[in-house]
Chain A
């Protein structure tokens, strides 16, 4: 039994090592999923940088939003015609915070009628649900873009299905279709390239 268990663990780790030896994940150009927006991982390889952005299907509307902060809009529909970065985040999440400097730079670079960032604040813990705390954290963290308060995490689950993660960043094109999707920190260059490509 002992040998069997050890063998199973060793085999699993070997399988893991083998799968890691493959090149970085590549981009499926269509979205097979019907339950949630599908996913892309773009690579930083120069030869792939000029590939067309995948079309991952239409973005869902935000649902169950309790209110907006720092915003003149009340839905993603209001932003049709613009390239929109939608990020699911919560202010207590360290990985979400790590993505903010890049987002801040991206917003500063492209802010205008053709580009918008929407932070969908989907709290993980009770203390993150207070709107005053969210507003205070936004100031502290340099989040100047519109924030949709998804206190009951309805949009969080409608968009991502299950399981769902923080942070998750999407880029929507002018027609509201998802052209980039990434979970967690990282892929900043790919995100910035996707925005630049869509803005032409």
Chain B
């Protein structure tokens, strides 16, 4: 279990994780409430698990719609449970993982026994999200000390922009560009 968590932490900065990392940073930047952070994490894990099991694998544009709606609700009502949960659902639907050994075992297991796979998958995702939430929380605390913010609406904008790229079909191009930049940087 701990190996899956560590793998999630290690893979959090790879381009395949940015669709989870960016919303996680936005959530961490907007709030410190454990219930909201937990809601976001829970939504990502459960949605990803349902998708990995093959029970519900919506097209990317639908993930985009979820993110746009999340962004609108977030903008209108603030960082509350519903927009944060919707953001988690949309991000998880759009997630295409890098599959290391631990996640690979979970995904392979999920093909025939989804219930046995939830542990490894959950720990991997908690590892990825922990990095994003930590960055967001640290950034929020720093900005607060500098007398800036709070940046509660940044996440709303991010969710809407991400969602729109998916709805209009630009998301693959954006992902590709980011992946290429990232590959160049890592090289």
Binding site for B on A (CB under 8 A): 1-2, 5-6, 8-9, 12-13, 15-20, 22, 24-25, 28, 32-33, 38-41, 92-95, 98, 124-127, 161-163, 165-167, 181-187
Contacts and interface: CB of A to CB of B under 8 A. Distances in A.
A124 B96 contact: yes
Nearest to B1: A20
Contacts of B119: 15-20
A8 B42 contact: yes
Contacts of B108: 25, 39-41, 181-184, 187
A41 B98 contact: no
Contacts of A33: 111-112
A127 B180 contact: yes
Contacts of A13: 122, 126
B115 A19 contact: yes
Contacts of B179: 92, 124-125, 127
B38 A9 contact: yes
A9 B98 contact: no
Given A15-B118, A125-B175, A166-B99, A1 B35 contact: yes
Nearest to B175: A125
B35 A6 contact: yes
Interface string B1-37: 1001000000000100000000000000000011100
Given A1-B35, A181-B108, A95 B99 contact: yes
B139 interface: no
Interface stretch (B45-53, B64-72, B142-150, B154-162): B45-53
A39 B111 contact: yes
Contacts of B14: 94
Nearest to B42: A9
Interface in B161-182: 172-173, 175-176, 179-180
A41 B105 contact: yes
Interface string B98-141: 11111111011101110111111011001000000000000000
Contacts of A32: 112
B152 interface: no
Contacts of B176: 125-127
A19 B1 CA distance: 10
Nearest to A162: B57
A185 B35 contact: no
Nearest to B39: A5
Give 7 closest A-B pairs by Cβ, nearest first: A184-B104, A184-B99, A186-B101, A39-B111, A125-B176, A20-B119, A19-B119
A129 to B, nearest CB: 10
B52 A182 contact: no
B151 interface: no
Contacts of A187: 101, 104-105, 108
Contacts of B112: 28, 32-33, 38-39
Contacts of A185: 99-101, 104
B169 to A, nearest CB: 13
Nearest to A3: B35
B82 to A, nearest CB: 11
Contact of B116 (A12, A22, A98): A22
Contact of B122 (A12, A94, A127): A12
